[in-house]
Amino acid sequence: MSATPQKKRASRRVLAAAAGLATVGALVAAMPAGAHDRGHGHGHGHGHKPRTVDVQLLSFNDLHGNLEPPAGSAGNVSETQPDGTVKAIPAGGVEYLATSLRTARKGSPYSVTAAGGDMVGASPLLSGLFHDEPTIEALNKLKLDVSAVGNHEFDEGATELARLQNGGCHPVEGCYEKGRKFRGADFPYLAANVTKEKTGKPLLKPYTVWKKNGVKIGFIGVTLEGTPDIVTANGVKGLKFHDEVETINKYARELDRKGVKSIVALIHEGGAPASTSYNYDCDSPGAGDGISGPIVDIAKGITPKVDALVTGHTHQAYVCTVPDPAGKPRMVTSASSFGKLYTDTTLTYDLRTKDIVRTSVKSANHVVTRDQPKAADMTSLIERWNKLAAPIANRPQGWISADINGRGSTALEKPLGNVIADAQLEGLAPADKGGAEVAFMNPGGIRADLVHKASGSEGDGVVTYGEAFTVQPFTNMMNVVDLTGAQLVAALQQQVSGPNEASPKILQVSKGLTYTLDLTKTGAARVVTDSIKLNGAAIDPARTYRVAMNEFLAGGGDGFPALGQGTNKLVGASDLDLFNAYLAAHSTAAAPLAPPATDRITVVQ
């Protein structure tokens, strides 16, 4: 979904307190006995060295430190049934992801596991409190072979990313467990299109070559070129982000010169399929017809030397073929988010040409179901870190009467978005706190739902610090600034125009602000300007308003340059502190907080 801002140091937080490999089934059935031996090759009779071997590529993306199964609707995947109805299936959690991947690898001597970025960042408390060391440890146990960096890998800056790769204890908080030193990622993080401003040299390795028994596959990893627009300035300081297509093509040529003819691109940028069901056929009626978004143009520009694209960022599920520059179909995949799906792709490797037989590439997404056995090593990892987090995580913050959906809501105005914006307005409205009249929250910063069902022993309806943190994991400092009415209107128009036109980012607004969004129109005209009112009064373009927002939005992040023009800035408490204060002030066990009405934005479709 929309990307999001930087996490702050955990020290501040602590102080603040469908299985099955149907993909190759048809191929196997169509071949004469003995002609196909998955993983061992396709021969021409006994005594001959096989011409090809099948390499299994397992991939996933956008885990965001979700070690435990994501709660509520954010933990479901949609599956279209044979009768056309759509079923929600609870999925995800590394205990199940580990079992799924280990089961899938059985019988595949040539198996490589790759990720499309955002493995860490915007993580629930269990991982985020410890600067995502628990997630890197889990990925090592999962035997991840390689990952691209995503924008969230930069949330805490290049130095912290280097620590996640190379190991060592946190520079401020030190080691979290006595006698244990964080050893870093066993897999290479690839950042081909990220260079240091001073030297022009790549920040991390641009590519890696996976080898087994003479089989060689090159992996090139890139994040989206627009990373600086969706990460706070400190996270990308001193770095340059380059065009995805130009970078991949450059390194594909380099790999080709080195004799590596089989190449997979790991790209932290994605698309939007026409259906949210993971088993939707996005090659209907024709190749790639059912997908749109930035990845389509990227895929069409990447050299035919690259044999498959593993993508991410949009948190969508798709397995499509998009034509390469030579007009030939090429596999483009994404496995939703939070470890709810994994993709199984068969790459047929020609031992003579050293290249992938592109016409034989098969791929499918599979659900990481929660009805399979849990991986015991992941269960003990989660228990170990939970024990360390418990004193902070289990503290009650408030009570709710029912689920209040945020991340899991598909509506433009989300119930939890209203709660968060109201919390920010209430906390910053007093004159000595900034005198805020209205508050804006970026939708991508809402990372979960508030779920009524107990996550542990706290009881149903209790919101713990850990649950509140999972919703607001960045611990962004709040800003209150002066904006003119004209700038305020411009900000609302920027939700649906400029870089946000193709994929609107609808700000969550505090109570008192109302307007109409007409989606039958295009661009800025979608915001009906004369409908914009604050506490019943029309917005005066010349008047100055005090506006509250997190520091990411106040820096113009997420494509909102108008919000970056604020003056007379006052820095307030963190978004998480205000959220928790609001829960405490507006709920008791006897009178829990109810989901608010969503009547601030009138949507015309």
Query: HEC profile for 466-527?
Result: HHHHHHCCCCCEEEEEEEEHHHHHHHHHHCCCHHHCCCCCCCEECCCEEEEEECCCCHHHHE
CA distances from 53 to 14, 49, 355, 508 (A): 51, 10, 11, 52
**Which amino acid appears at position 347 of this protein?**
L
Please tell me the predicted confidence (pLDDT) of residue 49. 79
Token pair of 39 as six digits: 């993983």
Rg of the Cα trace of the chain?
A: 24
SS3 384: helix
Find all residues with CB under 8 Å of 245, minimum gap 6, and list them: 298, 301, 302
Please tell me the predicted confidence (pLDDT) of residue 48. 74
CB distance 283 to 274 below 8 Å? no
Token pair of 202 as six digits: 């790549």
Burial category of 407 from C-beta neighbours within 10 Å (exposed 0-12, middle 13-18, buried 19 and up): buried
Shortest CA distance to 384 belongs to which of 228, 177, 100, 82?
177
Report the DSSP pairing between strands 189-190 and 215-223: unpaired
Chain-centroid distance of CA 346 in Å reads: 25
DSSP tag of 374: P
Shortest CA distance to 567 belongs to which of 503, 479, 490, 497?
479
CB distance 529 to 436 below 8 Å? no
**Which amino acid appears at position 60 of this protein?**
F
Burial category of 84 from C-beta neighbours within 10 Å (exposed 0-12, middle 13-18, buried 19 and up): exposed
Find all residues with CB under 8 Å of 481, minimum gap 6, and list them: 546, 547, 549, 554, 566, 567, 568, 569, 570
Please tell me the predicted confidence (pLDDT) of residue 41. 56
d(CA 367, CA 347): 21
CA distances from 161 to 129, 434, 477 (A): 16, 34, 22
pTM of the complete model: 0.91
Report mean pLDDT in 10-residue bins for the chain, 605 residues. 41 37 33 37 60 98 98 96 97 98 98 98 97 98 98 97 98 95 97 98 98 97 97 94 98 98 98 96 93 97 98 98 97 98 98 96 98 98 97 97 96 98 98 98 97 94 98 96 98 97 96 98 98 98 98 96 97 97 98 98 97
SS3 439: strand
Please tell me the predicted confidence (pLDDT) of residue 295. 98
Helices (H), 208-320: 227-230, 244-257, 294-301
Phi, psi at 98, each rounded to 5°? -60, -45
Give a three-class secondary structure readout of 134-157.
HHHHHHHHCCCCEEECCHHHHCCC
Helices (H), 181-332: 227-230, 244-257, 294-301
- In this structure, the chain runs to a length of 605
Cis geometry, peptide bond prior to residue 69 (ω within 30 degrees of 0): no
